[in-house]
Structure 1
């Protein structure tokens, strides 16, 4: 009796380590897409899409029905993005990913159509490719995507060999998320954060005014509410929750509770306790959302106005 071939229920995606920009003929450099990591499985029962945690998100993206045209036995690794003016817009994608009801999912799919950017292939015709080199896997992937050329929602992630610094400079100039560097001769390491894959992200810094905080149960604070000057006007730019050392957190807590005021310095959608002006901080962040909030901000340094001089 011949057993039917099957794909694994899930493959934990390979992850990258952080790095600085570099050039190397041993690496492929490609855009780091600002989206949701996902894997597409195509077997005899149809197709399914799982995010990096293994959650089935197929129903959230009805526009990917084109995946029924994939050859059976294929598993693709890639990123789901929503493009706005040719660039990934994570805030639009986030609204898609959080749509709970079927009606909202259909409405979101119609308004903000997603695209799957494929950058690796883990199986072909039920045969595992994880032990093969990146070059071999991408050759297979390029053929797979080309065979589905009528599928506008599936794109092969192009890259360049060698010129990582130049690509990073261009990506930074355009305000994109960053660059991925992948060693050409490397195998795929499921679930591992491996040095064969490196992520290179631009680092932005900004001095912000601390205009409020969200209290914590221990009498300290959960996060700071920030504002920054833009075009000569102070505007809310979101919250920062990480980067605080224990001594800084203790000092900040004392300062915040002593400087309370009844209302925020500027209009702000957050619910928080507000503080008098005079406290500032430097934050590191990856970019901005469409509404101007800081993406992934990290606290770096406290500045107290009366101590500067």
Structure 2
């Protein structure tokens, strides 16, 4: 289930929790065997071996939550990025372990809980012994959304998610019963092309970004170069972009010459997230900064967010 962007709700019908800056993961334990998967179904069990203890929680359970990696006591998507795309050894994982912040339980002992209200599901989650797992925690709920917004803003965190206490869970759907409110703008985009660095044709200097439009095409949203310098980022992007190279631009309209000059076009299948300072009058992202590839987001889910 996905949250809808909007203003912070008020009232006794709403519960509030931190919007964790991490990777959405579904943990499925069946017959004592754990599988971790993104919302798109990609198996990431080997990416997070430090979460193996979830298999001991119950012989049959499904949990929804966010994998986060702390940097200076605050969740950092940038710090987590290198763990999102490949398997690591247990020793590497334990040197800097992630934490699985669980915020929902969808099945327990073979019983589907998705039609139960959130308040009941959270009560069930609270009865599970998460305290016995060092790398797993329950995402706390708070009654005062405005106070939580203030605290998360002071700490440099991403924001708040408000959830109706009576909301049922609908997998894969964006629901007005869950509302996300952020302190900074972020946007998921599709890569439609890339340009080499001026000093090296082998390095990616900028990505050409797009957002789906109402007609089924893709609108050019600008290019991003900030945040691409790291060797790990370059490797991940090079591996992803090579198989989807195409001869023609995937954008619905003309891309400005200053952006299209020297571009290598790609099929719009790779989802990335960027931070930005809003949108220009021409519909371009203002000062975007690359944050990472999002394997946990489907291209069909992307829409232009506020900002």
Q: Which band: TM-score by shorter chain? A: 0.5 to 0.7
Residue 253 (1) aligns with residue 257 (2): yes
SS at match of 2:69: strand
Partner of 2:181: 200
CA spacing shift, 1:284–1:42, aligned 2, 3 Å = same
- Give the aligned partner of residue 165 of structure 1: 146
- For 2:114 and 2:305, locate their aligned partners in 1 and report how far apart those are by CA, in whole Å: 39
Shift of 1:215: 9.2
Cα 1:69–1:20 change in 2 (3 A) is: same
1:223 and 1:238 map into 2 onto residues whose CA distance is 15
5+ residue gaps, structure 2: 187-197, 199-204, 209-219, 230-250, 262-283, 293-303
Offset at residue 172 of structure 1 (A): 1.9
Structure number, greater radius of gyration? 1
Matched residue, 1:152: 134
Q: Please point out which of 71, 91, 114 is paired with 2:58.
A: 71
The gaps in structure 1 that reach 5 residues or longer are 1-13, 206-211, 227-235, 240-244, 258-280, 291-297, 302-309
Q: Please say if residues 77 and 120 of structure 1, whose CA atoms lie closer than 8 Å, have aligned partners that are also in contact.
A: yes
1:99, distance to aligned residue in structure 2 (A) = 2.7
Matched, 1:88 2:75: yes
The aligned counterpart of 2:109 is: 125
Aligned to 2:163: 182
Partner Cα separation in structure 2 for residue 299 and residue 115 of structure 1: 28
Paired residues of 1:203 and 1:284 also in contact (CA < 8 A): no
Cα distance between partner residues in 2 of 1:138 and 1:76: 11
Cα offset, 1:188, TM superposition: 0.8
- In the other structure, the counterpart of 2:223 is 224
Greater shift, 131-140 or 49-58, is seen at: 49-58
SS at match of 2:13: strand
Q: Which residue of 1 aligns with 2:189?
A: none
Matched position secondary structure for 2:131 = coil
Residue deviations 1:3-34 (CA, integer Å, cap 9, x gap)? xxxxxxxxxxx111111123221101100111
- Distance apart, 1:289 and its partner CA: 6.1
How far apart are the structure 2 equivalents of 1:19 and 1:134? 20
TM-score by length of 1: 0.63
**CA offsets 1:246-295 (integer angstroms, 9 cap, x no match):** 89x76x536997xxxxxxxxxxxxxxxxxxxxxxx87276x8969xxxxx
Contact 2:32 2:58 in 1 (8 A): no
Q: Residues 267-282 of structure 1 correspond to what in structure 2 (within 5 A)?
A: none
- Partners of 1:48 and 1:150 lie apart in 2 by 19
Distance in 2 (alpha carbons) for counterparts of 1:132 and 1:20: 26
Say whether residues 1:283 and 2:286 are aligned partners.
Answer: yes
Deviation, structure 1 residue 125: 1.0
> Quick one: structure 1 residues 255 and 97, their matched pair in 2 at CA, closer, same or farther if it must change by over 3 Å?
closer
1:43 deviation in Å?
A: 1.6
Length-normalised TM-score, structure 2? 0.63
Note the C-alpha offset of 1:148.
3.8
Superposition deviation, residue 41 in structure 1: 1.1
Is the counterpart of residue 55 in structure 1 residue 57 in structure 2? Answer: no
Q: RMSD in angstroms over aligned alpha carbons?
A: 3.5
Distance 1:282 1:224 in 2: 8
Q: Report the Cα distance in structure 1 between the residues aligned to 2:165 and 2:103, rounded to whole angstroms.
A: 13
Give the direction of change, closer, same or farther, for the CA distance of 1:198–1:61 in structure 2 (3 Å limit). same
| Paired residues of 1:29 and 1:180 also in contact (CA < 8 A) | yes
Instruction: Give the distance between the partners of 1:186 and 1:71, measured in 2 at CA.
Output: 25
Which of residues 15, 19, 26 is equivalent to 1:32? 19
Please state which structure has a larger fraction of its residues in strand: 1
